[in-house]
């Protein structure tokens, strides 16, 4: 009797020691710090706290003023419900980590025989649990780190997508203003041509040409308006805006071309900064650790230790003793589990290498796209726009000297405005390409490298 009582006390103590509190707040605090280091932005996990109301107030304040790329990104981090759902992955991963550190509940069996009065009781605990618990905790720790990194990657990708969508919409809005100017100018030109045609001073061909030019200008304006509607809704979706939150405005003009930035070591920066790559590495670590216990776990599955108590009424006999159940590995000696674990480890390694190669390719493509867009902007600013301005000035002089018709002067002005619209398109494409390069790199293009090497080292110890 004393033996089984001691065994019960041992299990009770183990249960008390195994009780754990699931608290994902430290993981989210780490995420918030990382996001702030990479973007300078604040994140808020909405869970019915006082800070939720503060975040909602901050969103309203940001949306009440003309948006910039930075303020749009901040709105998304506080207001995007998909991100809020992603944050819950931290709670799930934390719960999995805590559960991995708990022993499975013991099994108690009780038998009472009729019509006799014999009584038997057994208390069992899986032996494999006691043996492999520390190793399971190390596997869960690596999986938890991977989950944190994946959440961080999703947040940073959202920031980059918001910035790209913002510049796209801002450029579309600026193009609308320019193309309205062109449409108004061509409409006045077509109206003038019609009056002169009615007076017999303009040929049918010239009239048709002016009207066709006006029609094309209106088509271009309609295309720009349609593009702005689509880019606005994309930005609304990324910011999680709905209802009155969609009544925001943007700053009227795109930022001018910034100074040159170093393109050196962008691939290395991406390899160090990309959180999805760090998550893939942690997943490989988890699979490698799981491989080390796969065969033992398969063979010992169902192995139990416990205590047995029996009472016979006749003679008043009581018996107590240990109980052991051990599977005999005749049919399954763990080879399938070992092969599966080996395959998963190799798979995780290949996925890590494939992602690293994909990241390098994405960085090169985004870098080249941004550089080409920058060269185009610089050419417009240094050559194309000044040339169009000069043509307009010369046309004005010739018109004043009555050497060209008013249609030719209007045509020169229209071409100057069109060149301005092409410049805005190129500038828009540059800022979008820059945002895409930041996305490919996994953070800022300048400043110190920001990596998760320290966290990864801690998780592997």
Instruction: Decide which of 308 and 8 is more confident.
Output: 308
CATH number at residue 196: 1.20.1600.10
Secondary element (H or E) of residue 119: strand 119-126
Q: Kindly tell me if the per-residue pLDDT of 188 is higher than 90.
A: no
> Would you say 379 and 290 are in contact if contact means Cβ atoms under 8 Å apart?
no
In the sheet where 107-112 sits, what is the strand order? Answer: 107-112, 119-126, 304-312, 317-325
Q: Kindly tell me if the per-residue pLDDT of 460 is higher than 50.
A: no
Residue 112, φ and ψ in degrees, nearest 5: -130, 125
Residues 6 or more apart from 102 whose CB is under 8 A from it?
18, 20
Instruction: Decide which of 302 and 127 is more confident.
Output: 302
pLDDT above 90: percentage of residues in the chain: 38
pLDDT in tens, 367-416: 999 999 999 999 999 999 999 999 989 988 888 888 888 878 888 888 88
pLDDT in tens, 296-346: 666 667 666 666 667 666 666 777 767 676 777 777 676 777 888 889 899
pLDDT at 276: 93
Q: How many distinct structural domains can be found in the chain?
A: 1
182/421 Cα distance (integer angstroms): 10
140/87 Cα distance (integer angstroms): 18
pLDDT in tens, 224-257: 999 999 999 999 999 999 999 999 999 889 999 8
Q: Give, as one character, the DSSP assignment of residue 67.
A: B
pLDDT band for position 11 (cuts 50, 70, 90): very low
This prediction has a pTM of 0.81
Q: Kindly tell me if the per-residue pLDDT of 158 is higher than 60.
A: yes
Structure-block tokens of residue 306? 């416990």
The answer to whether the bond into 115 is cis (omega within 30° of 0) is yes
pLDDT at 117: 59
Q: Kindly tell me if the per-residue pLDDT of 124 is higher than 60.
A: no
pLDDT at 448: 58
pLDDT band for position 17 (cuts 50, 70, 90): very low
pLDDT in tens, 54-78: 888 899 999 999 999 999 999 999 9
SS3 label, residue 20? coil
Instruction: Decide which of 112 and 42 is more confident.
Output: 42
The boundaries of the domain holding residue 160 are 2-460
Neighbours of 114 (CB within 10 A): 6
**Torsion-angle region of residue 124: left (phi > 0), alpha (psi -120 to 50) or beta?**
beta
Q: If you write DSSP's letter for every residue of 199-247 in order, what string do you get?
A: TT-S-HHHHHHHHHHHHHHHHHHHHHHHHHHHHHHHHHHHHT--GGGG-
- Long-range CB pairs of 107-110 (<8 Å, 24+ gap) are 107/304
> Would you say 318 and 192 are in contact if contact means Cβ atoms under 8 Å apart?
no
Q: Kindly tell me if the per-residue pLDDT of 162 is higher than 70.
A: yes
Residue 417, φ and ψ in degrees, nearest 5: -65, -40
Q: Give, as one character, the DSSP assignment of residue 104.
A: P
313/116 Cα distance (integer angstroms): 8
pLDDT at 379: 94
CA dihedral 281, 283, 287, 290 (to 10 degrees): 120
Q: Give, as one character, the DSSP assignment of residue 357.
A: H
pLDDT at 389: 92
pLDDT at 157: 93
Q: Kindly tell me if the per-residue pLDDT of 13 is higher than 50.
A: no
Most confident region among 194-198, 283-287, 423-427 by mean pLDDT: 423-427
pLDDT (average), residues 91-111: 73
User: In 264-405, where does DSSP find H-type helix?
Assistant: 266-273, 275-300, 335-379, 385-400
pLDDT band for position 1 (cuts 50, 70, 90): very low
Mean pLDDT of the chain: 82
């Amino acid at each position: 009797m004393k033996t089984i009582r001691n065994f019960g006390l041992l299990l009770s103590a183990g249960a008390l020691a195994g009780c754990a509190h699931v608290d994902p707040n430290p993981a989210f605090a780490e995420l918030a710090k990382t996001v702030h280091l990479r973007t300078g932005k604040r994140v808020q996990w909405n869970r019915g706290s006082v800070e939720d109301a503060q975040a909602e107030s901050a969103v309203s304040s940001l949306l009440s003023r003309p948006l910039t790329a930075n303020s749009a990104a901040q709105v998304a981090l506080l207001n995007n419900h998909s991100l809020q759902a992603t944050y819950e992955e931290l709670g799930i991963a934390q719960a999995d980590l805590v559960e991995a550190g708990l022993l499975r509940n013991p099994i108690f069996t009780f038998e009472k025989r009729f019509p006799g009065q014999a009584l038997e009781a057994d208390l069992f605990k899986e032996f494999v649990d006691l043996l492999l618990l520390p190793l399971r905790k190390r596997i869960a720790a690596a999986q938890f780190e991977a989950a944190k990194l994946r959440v961080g990657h999703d947040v940073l990708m959202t920031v980059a997508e918001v910035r790209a969508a913002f510049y796209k919409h801002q450029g579309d809005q600026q193009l609308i203003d320019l193309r309205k100017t062109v449409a108004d100018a061509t409409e006045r030109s077509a109206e003038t041509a019609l009056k002169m045609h009615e007076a017999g001073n303009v040929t049918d061909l010239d009239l048709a040409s002016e009207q066709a030019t006006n029609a094309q200008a209106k088509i271009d304006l309609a295309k720009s308006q349609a593009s702005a509607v689509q880019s606005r809704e994309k930005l609304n979706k990324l910011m999680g805006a709905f209802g009155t939150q969609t009544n925001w405005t943007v700053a009227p003009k795109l930022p001018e071309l910034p100074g040159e930035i170093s393109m050196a070591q962008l691939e290395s920066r991406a390899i160090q900064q990309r959180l999805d790559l760090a998550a893939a590495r942690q997943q490989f670590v988890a699979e490698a650790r799981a491989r080390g216990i796969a065969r033992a776990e398969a063979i010992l599955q169902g192995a139990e230790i416990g205590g047995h108590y029996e009472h016979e009424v006749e003679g008043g006999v009581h018996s107590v003793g240990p109980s052991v159940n051990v599977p005999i590995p005749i049919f399954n000696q763990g080879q399938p589990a070992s092969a599966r674990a080996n395959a998963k480890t190799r798979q995780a390694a290949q996925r890590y290498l494939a992602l690293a190669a994909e990241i390098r390719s994405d960085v090169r493509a985004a870098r080249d796209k941004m550089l080409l867009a920058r060269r185009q902007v610089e050419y417009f600013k240094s050559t194309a726009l000044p040339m169009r301005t000069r043509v307009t000035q010369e046309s004005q002089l010739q018109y004043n000297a009555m050497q060209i018709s008013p249609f030719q002067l209007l045509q020169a002005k229209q071409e100057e405005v069109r060149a301005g619209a092409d410049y805005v398109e190129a500038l828009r494409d540059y800022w979008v390409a820059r945002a895409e390069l930041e996305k490919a790199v996994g953070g800022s293009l300048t400043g110190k490298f920001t990596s998760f090497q320290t966290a990864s080292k801690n998780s592997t110890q």
